[in-house]
Structure 1
Amino acid sequence: MSQKLHRRTLLQSIVAVAATTAFGCNEEETTEQQAAQSRAYFPQSVASGDPRPDSVVLWTRAVDEEHGGDVTLSLEVSTEESFGTLIANPKGLQALVAHDNALKVKVTNLSPRTTYYYRFVYEHDGERFVSPVGRTKTAPAPGEDVAVKLVVASCQDYVGRYYNTWQRLTQLGLDADAIVFLGDYIYETTGDPAFQSTNTLREVKFQKPEEALVQKTGFFQYYAAQSLSNYRDLYKTVRSDPVIQKVHERYPFINMWDDHEFSNDCWGSNATYENGRRTEKQDDRRRNAEQAFFEFLPIDTAGTAGEGSIDVDAEPKYPNTRIYRDFEFGKHVKLIVTDYRTYRPDHLIPEDGYPGAVVMDETVLAALGATPAFANDLFAYVDLDATEYEQHRATLRQVYVAQSQQAGLTQQEASAKAATWVKGKLALAYVNQVLAAAGAGALAIPPAGKPRGLAFVHMGKLNPFDVRGTRNIVIKDTYDLYAAYRYAATQTASENALGTEQETWLKGKLQAANTWKFIVSSVSLSALMLDLRQKTDIPDASLRQRFYFTTDQWDGFPTKKKELLTYVKNNVSNAVFLSGDIHASFASVEEGVPTLTAPSISSSSIKEEAGTAVQGAGFAQGSPIYRYIAVETDQTLRAANPNMVFSEADRHGFLVVEAKPGEVLATYHLLPSSEVHKDYTKRTPNELQRQFITHALRVQNGTITNA
């Protein structure tokens, strides 16, 4: 009876036979084949993260597709690339199927500011399979007087895009202490037509699409990750890219999440796909997202784990998650990594909010001394619950139900929401418009003599279940007033973005003696306001106002943002905010505090997204609105935000910050957005180099100047 031929034995036999022939492999080729064979067991290569003066976290994913099951590994760590002397060699490490065969190991008792080489080893059937070699670096010792160089990056959408910016970083060969990745390491969707490409060479496929959320935009249908399997697929796909593997093999990462590691524009465990049509509190989905994040990224959440394998199951998940943490880089840098997503409240304007709903009536405005500013008939309102408006109420609810059903709600859901929203104090600017559109213009209510108040429509919200006027393009002046009112009325809860415990922790860490305090925020603190008040070529006067580009970032919590910045300015010397999320490069001084916003690695630029959004709102490419927002984006932003020193809204890249005793040198490395769709791994290094530009800035004494 013949014995079943082992796949690996077959490969070895072929190699052995080939080696005896005139055209067989030479020794170098055999070594390359062995390396390729070994690499198959480590499909996502290796990575390191959370470097401290005496420890670092090392990561790999090891699979044996033939045998399956858990994979037992050993780890070799050395200061020599040849691994001549091992300073650590833990054995019996388990890459568990329960964790998708991902493994992260904390190595301790290391020397400060030292380069280490590491590799994982899988021994099976008398053979030794070695992972690619990784290089990492520990942080300088506390108090060590050395310059610190960090790479700051964010937002690396994989779908239809290439990691040319990461490739440029590997070309430069910078001697950086770490890469600070600010969030959106993965994108939870497989092909959202709002911002993702249909390039099938760069796509994500879920092994279990039946476990994903089905999303529809017009005729397009795509998936959003929901199950643990879905989220793992996203990380495995991204980490299969050879360019990002090289970056992880070269530098330790310090990771924070933003929204897309879970769900776009999320807050806590709440998603926003439905824009208020239905409740989207998804605790299990949030925990699945966190589990995959902890499995696939070399992160030590609490910074207290001892030496050896880090038990991902023991790392707290939502709602008990805590990944905000701090790092010491010698005498000159305290890196404080904050979590903007886990504890923050909802966006101030609810997505399902009825545009006509009055949120600040005449009594509130009078108490605030704001009555004169609202004398215009535009702010008139009535109490729809009064008997005289019974017919108006019935008509408005009928229209609301019809609109809601058209938006995808059932009759029952639409009726319930109508009963919730279409009542009480409503703005006539919206009520009369709806009545006219419904052919009930005869029911229009004259504004004369009516009380004045502020409604959602006065902040730019024109429709229920719409991101516009809720999270994007919100009227600044009325929004700021409402935000301040809500902040006081809720005793700060409405804008408690970091959560009370984290904010207390942050203020404590800011008292560190380090020369520079780098505060990491996944979302930007640069004010992104659009001032269209003097744009007389815009025919609609209602559009000639000041708008926030987005309220999903810190602009959406203006009262807390100013309070936090003022605290930092008055109590902390040499603080700098490092942020991302917005897919553009900004440098500005906010309330006296320098803030640097890193561009996206590959995700669609803010200028590209602005063009899509403006056209989606019904403005043609030749219109003044389109020109100011989607063509002259940088000019419009700089004109409206005088504290902005530098802006680049249509380039990808990364930011390098070098901290010295008297200054921080910040250098942007930038690639045109058109080049992110091209695969530069198939071109010469010079071709990619020629596409990049740099812009250097100097941060010193609370100012930012060109270097």
Structure 2
Amino acid sequence: MLPLAGGATGAHAAEGPSFLHGVASGDPLPDGVLLWTRVTPSADAVPGSGKGGPVTVSWEVAEDEGFRKVVARGTAKAEAASDHTVKADVRGLSPDTSYWFRFSAGNADSPAARTRTAPAEDADTPNLRFGVVSCAHYEAGYFSSYRHLAARSDLHAVLHLGDYIYEYGHEGYPLRGADTVRTVQPEHETVTLADYRLRHGHTKLDPDVQAMHAAHPLVAMWDDHEFANDAWSGGAENHTEGQEGTWADRRRAAQQAYFEWMPVRPSTGGTTYRRLRFGRLADLHLLDLRSFRDEQASIGDGDVIDDPDRTLTGRKQLDWLKSGLSASASRWRMVGTSVMIAPIAFGAVPAHLLGPLAELLGIPKEGLAVNVDQWDGYTDDRRELLTHLRDQHIDNTVFLTGDIHMAFANEVPVKAATYPEDAPVATEFVVTSVTSDNLDDVLNVAPDTVSSVAEAAVKATNGHVRWLDMDSHGYGVLDVDSERAHMDYFVLSDKADRDATAEVRRSYRTLSGTQRLEKADGPLDA
């Protein structure tokens, strides 16, 4: 494992500039990568404080850890206006190459960290391998998933599918105070720009977060908790207009803090939907499913759910995705979607488990049939997209999903009611949460006990669901080559144990040209 970037885990800086929050890289291109850090110019210049003068920061990129072969260097200014965060969009690098980078300010140097560029666009890349994570609530446990991914040397990048932070105050989530493992800062709910900056800053003091960022470039997209629970274009379930200010101001603050603190290039208009290419092997289409969506429907309101005038993606983004999928010349088309696209009905789940599932999913408890925060709540957008895949004969589309705090392996038909006669047009790998509560946590029962009843009911009702796990926490490792896309689902021994171990619970793959899933013989070699 690499040394921790930043070196310190405390919240106070020594005299003079320091790098308490580590370093990071992200959004790799064939000729470049985005570098990130945060400088603490003085002890009182904590995130969100607005304190501290400007600091000149130097950066350099080298072919070796000892920095004897420096290939790029430059300077940037860290100022209070950007919360003393710094980004350097480095270009002129070689494709599919590992590099080392570091920052300096005053007499302080950050430790060296590793990054990697994407393959050349015309390269016949033999394989790609990504760590895949989602839903990392600070108070719910330790980020051991990040530590295990940091220890690997075989990843091209880590894909974060959303909920990198949570907006809740102390013991506001998890669902019971007894489940709180540690205390987040600020202890109140994040509403203002200063709040979101402090929450991001506190998260990046975590040693496992720093280790992951020091080992691999991150490709990240946001979901709702980077803003507030069940966010939509005009509000959120966890926002009280007036009492907590306007939604527009809160959204603007959360978005600004996100782009300050994350190694992410904003797309036009300041959203996170964008496209990355990894040689001829794969395109990665990353979606923003919070900024443009209409308000979630009420449970059981089928007319609203099916209303063609309601949207999850927004017209512009859906057209962008469809055209990108059609134009792709890559073997695989991967789509990062923060919420599940495969239709899932929960109607067969026993009544005593419907309430806990609804609580877990953050939706009303009156008769849980579908999760209206997912694509299930916006069926016309889903129908248009999946019909496009079918009618345009676009194969090898793999949706990569987080959000739901459970692991799924799904085939994705246009019409689930007539599956398997209605053949799937895509597949979907859903990774569970890093720490955020799932079913056994909500019920306060042992893993793999009560959940087995609910899992069996979901599979019986939804034949396209090949596998699911409602209890585990962990991460995925996705490996793609010309013949198949293979996901290993890793689970942690105990999210409340800082030294938790990880093992593969299940492995699934889809063979090129099939749009079907099959259980793999075993996990990939690390």
The normalised TM-score by structure 2 is: 0.83
Match of 1:394 in 2: none
- Aligned mates of 1:559, 1:115 — CA distance in 2: 43
Q: Does 1:264 align with 2:77?
A: no
- Alignment-mate amino acid for residue 411 of structure 2: V
- Aligned mates of 1:325, 1:536 — CA distance in 2: 42
> Could you say what the CA RMSD is over the residues aligned between the two structures, in angstroms?
3.0
Q: Does 1:330 align with 2:143?
A: no
* Offset at residue 493 of structure 1 (A): 2.1
| Cα distance change on mapping 1:90 and 1:570 into 2, 3 Å | same
Instruction: Decide which structure has the larger Cα Rg and report it.
Output: 1
Q: Does 1:702 align with 2:515?
A: yes
- Aligned mates of 2:19, 2:64 — CA distance in 1: 22
Match of 2:344 in 1: 528
Q: Does 1:156 align with 2:140?
A: no
- Aligned mates of 1:197, 1:534 — CA distance in 2: 27
1:271 touches 1:280 (CA, 8 Å); kept in 2?
no
Match of 1:455 in 2: none
Alignment of 1:202-217 (within 5 A): 202-206=182-186
Q: Does 1:65 align with 2:77?
A: no
Alignment of 1:295-314 (within 5 A): 295-302=260-267
- Aligned mates of 1:135, 1:80 — CA distance in 2: 9
- Alignment-mate amino acid for residue 298 of structure 1: P
| Cα distance change on mapping 1:103 and 1:704 into 2, 3 Å | same
| Cα distance change on mapping 1:200 and 1:153 into 2, 3 Å | closer
- Aligned mates of 2:142, 2:15 — CA distance in 1: 26
- Alignment-mate amino acid for residue 281 of structure 2: H
* Partner secondary structure for residue 436 of structure 2: coil
Alignment of 1:393-412 (within 5 A): none
2:139 touches 2:174 (CA, 8 Å); kept in 1?
no
* Offset at residue 73 of structure 1 (A): 1.0
* Offset at residue 693 of structure 1 (A): 3.1
* Offset at residue 500 of structure 1 (A): 0.7
* Offset at residue 196 of structure 1 (A): 6.2
* Partner secondary structure for residue 559 of structure 1: helix
Structure 1 vs Structure 2: percent identity of aligned residues? Answer: 30
- Alignment-mate amino acid for residue 205 of structure 2: S
- Aligned mates of 1:652, 1:271 — CA distance in 2: 26
Q: How far does the alpha carbon of each residue in 1:435-470 deviate from its partner, in whole angstroms, 9 at most, with x for none?
A: xxxxxxxxxxxxxxxxxxxxxxxxxxxxxxxxxxxx
2:488 touches 2:504 (CA, 8 Å); kept in 1?
no
* Partner secondary structure for residue 602 of structure 1: coil
* Partner secondary structure for residue 148 of structure 1: strand
1:269 touches 1:286 (CA, 8 Å); kept in 2?
no
* Offset at residue 561 of structure 1 (A): 1.9
Match of 2:456 in 1: 635
Match of 1:660 in 2: 481
Match of 1:585 in 2: 407
From 322, 333, 348, the counterpart of 1:507:
322
Match of 2:146 in 1: 166
Match of 2:66 in 1: 82
- Aligned mates of 1:136, 1:264 — CA distance in 2: 32
- Alignment-mate amino acid for residue 116 of structure 2: K
Q: Does 1:339 align with 2:288?
A: yes
| Cα distance change on mapping 1:85 and 1:703 into 2, 3 Å | same
Q: Does 1:671 align with 2:492?
A: yes
Q: Does 1:292 align with 2:257?
A: yes
- Alignment-mate amino acid for residue 62 of structure 2: S
- Aligned mates of 1:594, 1:321 — CA distance in 2: 29
1:53 touches 1:113 (CA, 8 Å); kept in 2?
yes
- Alignment-mate amino acid for residue 49 of structure 1: G
| Cα distance change on mapping 1:649 and 1:141 into 2, 3 Å | same
From 140, 152, 163, the counterpart of 2:119:
140
- Alignment-mate amino acid for residue 330 of structure 2: N
From 505, 516, 532, the counterpart of 2:332:
516
- Aligned mates of 1:333, 1:39 — CA distance in 2: 45
1:161 touches 1:197 (CA, 8 Å); kept in 2?
no
- Aligned mates of 2:104, 2:296 — CA distance in 1: 48
Q: How far does the alpha carbon of each residue in 1:364-419 deviate from its partner, in whole angstroms, 9 at most, with x for none?
A: xxxxxxxxxxxxxxxxxxxxxxxxxxxxxxxxxxxxxxxxxxxxxxxxxxxxxxxx
- Aligned mates of 1:137, 1:195 — CA distance in 2: 39
1:669 touches 1:692 (CA, 8 Å); kept in 2?
yes
The gaps in structure 1 that reach 5 residues or longer are 1-31, 207-221, 303-315, 350-473, 539-544, 613-620, 622-626, 681-687
* Offset at residue 276 of structure 1 (A): 9.9
- Aligned mates of 2:54, 2:427 — CA distance in 1: 48
Deviating above 6 A after TM superposition, structure 1's stretches of 4 or more consecutive aligned residues are 36-40, 274-280, 533-538
* Offset at residue 337 of structure 1 (A): 0.5
Q: How far does the alpha carbon of each residue in 1:276-304 deviate from its partner, in whole angstroms, 9 at most, with x for none?
A: 999985101100000100000011113xx
The gaps in structure 2 that reach 5 residues or longer are 1-6, 45-51, 355-365, 414-423, 521-526
- Aligned mates of 1:518, 1:602 — CA distance in 2: 25
Match of 2:419 in 1: none
1:526 touches 1:586 (CA, 8 Å); kept in 2?
no
Alignment of 1:445-594 (within 5 A): 474-475=299-300, 479-484=301-306, 487=307, 492-494=308-310, 496-511=311-326, 512-532=328-348, 547-571=368-392, 572-591=394-413, 592=424, 593-594=426-427
1:671 touches 1:693 (CA, 8 Å); kept in 2?
no
| Cα distance change on mapping 1:291 and 1:648 into 2, 3 Å | same
- Aligned mates of 2:404, 2:113 — CA distance in 1: 31
From the two aligned structures, give the one with the greater helix fraction: 1
